[in-house]
Amino acid sequence: FKIEEVAKKLKIPLYAFVIYQSIGEAITPMRESIAKAADEVAEKVKKLIKSRIEEGFSVIVAGIGNTVGIGVS
């Protein structure tokens, strides 16, 4: 929550993209549909950056989540 507090104080915009997984999906090898969803979200992130961020400004892209189930099944 500290990231959000500092961003709000400094008027830094935050954007979030979520790929929903059930508990079972989070702890088992990644299904192909979730891997494809990750690719789609990556494209959306690129599009957002190109449309909202002026040249010369910095962007932080952080992938936050569970990696226990890495490996496509």
For residue 19, what are the contacts with CB-CB under 8 A and spacing of at least 6?
Answer: 34, 37, 38, 41
Domains in the chain: how many in total?
A: 1
Element spanning 42, H or E = helix 32-52
The model scores a pTM over 0.85: no
Domain span at residue 23? 1-73
- What phi and psi values does residue 25 have, to the nearest 5 degrees? -65, -35
What local confidence, expressed as pLDDT, does residue 52 receive? 94
pLDDT in tens, 20-66: 778 887 778 878 888 888 889 899 999 999 999 999 999 998 877 65
CB burial of 4-22 (b: ≥16 within 10 Å; e: otherwise) equals eeeeeeeeeeeeeeeeebe
